[in-house]
Structure 1
Amino acid sequence: MPKALERRQKLRSDLIFAAERMIADRGLSGLKTRDLAREIGCANGAVYNLVEDMDELILRVGSRTLHRLDEALSAAERAGEPSPQETLVRIALAYCDFAAKNLQLWRALFEHRMEADKTVPDWSIDDQMQLFRHIYVPLATLFPKRGADELGITARSLFSAVHGMVALGLEQKLVAVPLPALREEIAGLVRAMIDGLIARAERSHAAAAP
């Protein structure tokens, strides 16, 4: 590999790691080009020779965050009994724990907004969509007669409910909830939602029976 290309790749990696540390310490609003350039030892303008723009840099950091979250959810899947209900509970709790331990990086996933005329690149969308398999697979086991589209909607609904509780519970204002209590409430919510979905499916099956 030519030394110039090798140096550029190293600077690009250094830039992404520096941005990750900066977001973790200061939040997304604390990410500054001049500070990044100073930390990796390059001129301000050289940052944009390494990434297209700040959107790409933030998405690259987000990709690293999503990969770590994916690992945490995978570990939660393997950590207990194979019951799909309890697997979904463990996944929800792992999501909560990850958010609490990586608060600023987790917030950045949802706070970042692309400019109106720009679209999220495919590689970033793929990173996001891969995570839904952790919810989709247990739901498919619970509801084998549901189609892919219906399961996808249910998976997103379940995620939205858990995400909302995590976002409000970890808010560092009046609505903040102690983490042990938040985990207990999330576990109760997931079990209640699954119980309700099972009961509804059973009623539909009974109504359709001759």
Structure 2
Amino acid sequence: MSKALERREKLRSDLILAAERMIADRGLAGLKTRDLAREIGCANGAVYNLVADVDELILRVGSRTLLRLDDALSAAENAAVPSPRGTLVRIAIAYCDFAAENLELWRALFEHRMAADKIVPDWSIDDQMQPFRHIYKPLALLLPKRSPEELGITARSLFSAVHGMVALGLEQKLVAVPLPALRDEIAVLVRAMLDGLVARAD
């Protein structure tokens, strides 16, 4: 790799890390390319020599957030748990804890909207789908008669239910729920959903 290319890659990495810090501190709405350029020591226009546009920059930060989420879910999945139900409960609570600990970066995953005519790149879609495998595997053990397509839908439905509780529970308004209580309620919800799914499958 040439020196010029090395410098560009270093600057690009610095840009993504700076954007990550800015979103963590200010939220997605506080992301300003002029401030990023100043922080990494380049001209404002040079930012667009490092990434195609702000959408790509946000997606790159999102991929880093998703990778850390994936690590957290892997740790929950690999912990000593006696059953697929227990695994899914731990995964759900790990998701809640990750969101609470990385609130603005987690929110940015869902707040970011691209223009209707823009296509989300394949690398970003792949990164977004990775965490679902943690839900899919224990569900497959609980519901062995379901097809892969059915399991995929069930995994997304279970995620949506947990995500909704986390999103509302962590909202810093009237519906905010203390984290210990939110964790308990999520565990109750996941167990109830799984009991119902298994009962219907019998």
Q: TM-score range by the shorter chain?
A: over 0.9
Question: How far is 1:9 from its partner?
Answer: 0.3
Residue 82 (structure 1) shift:
4.0
Aligned to 1:201: 201
- Please list the CA deviations of residues 113-133 of structure 1 after superposition, one character each: whole Å capped at 9, or x if unmatched: 011210110000000111110
Query: Which aligned runs of 4 or more in structure 1 are off by greater than 3 angstroms?
Result: none
- Provide, for residues 76-109 of structure 1, a one-character-per-residue CA deviation record: whole Å limited to 9, x for no partner: 0112214100000000000000000000000000
In structure 2, what is the equivalent of residue 9 of structure 1? 9
Q: Normalised by the size of structure 1, how large is the TM-score? A: 0.95
For residues 25-44 of structure 1, the aligned pairs below 5 Å read: 25-44=25-44
What 5-or-longer segments of structure 2 have no aligned partner? none
- 1:31-62 CA-partner distances (Å, limit 9, x unpaired): 00100000000000000000000000000000
Counterpart position of 1:118: 118
Residue of structure 1 equivalent to 2:162 = 162
Query: Matches of residues 72-91 of structure 1 in structure 2 within 5 Å?
Result: 72-91=72-91
In the comparison of the two structures, how many residue pairs are matched? 202
**Aligned: 1:138 with 2:138:** yes
- Tell me, in whole angstroms, the C-alpha distance in 1 between the residues paired with 2:152 and 2:181: 29
Tell me the SS of whatever aligns to 2:42.
coil
- Give the distance between the partners of 1:133 and 1:2, measured in 2 at CA: 39
1:118 is paired with a residue whose SS is: coil
AA matched with 1:195: D
Q: Aligned to 2:116, what secondary structure does the other structure show?
A: coil
In the aligned structure 2, how far is the partner of 1:147 from the partner of 1:93? 26
Q: 2:21 & 2:91 partners in 1: Cα distance?
A: 26
Q: CA–CA distance in 2 between the matches of 1:30 and 1:173?
A: 20
Structure exhibiting the larger radius of gyration computed from Cα positions: 1
* Distance in 2, Cα, partners of 1:172 & 1:74: 28
CA distance in 1, matches of 2:82, 2:36: 45
Q: Which residue of 2 aligns with 1:70?
A: 70
Which SS does the other structure have where 1:175 is aligned?
coil
**SS of match in other structure, 1:134:** helix
Letter in 2 for 1:22: M
Structure 1, unaligned stretches of length 5 or more?
203-210
TM (norm. structure 2) is 0.99
DSSP-derived class of the 2:190 partner? helix
Superposition RMSD in Å: 0.6
For 2:117 and 2:200, the matched residues in 1 are separated by: 42
Aligned-partner Cα distance in 1 for 2:3–2:75: 39
Structure 2 counterpart of 1:108, which letter? A
Name the CA distance, whole Å, in 2 between partners of 1:143 and 1:29.
42
In 2, the alpha carbon distance for the partners of 1:7 and 1:82 equals: 50
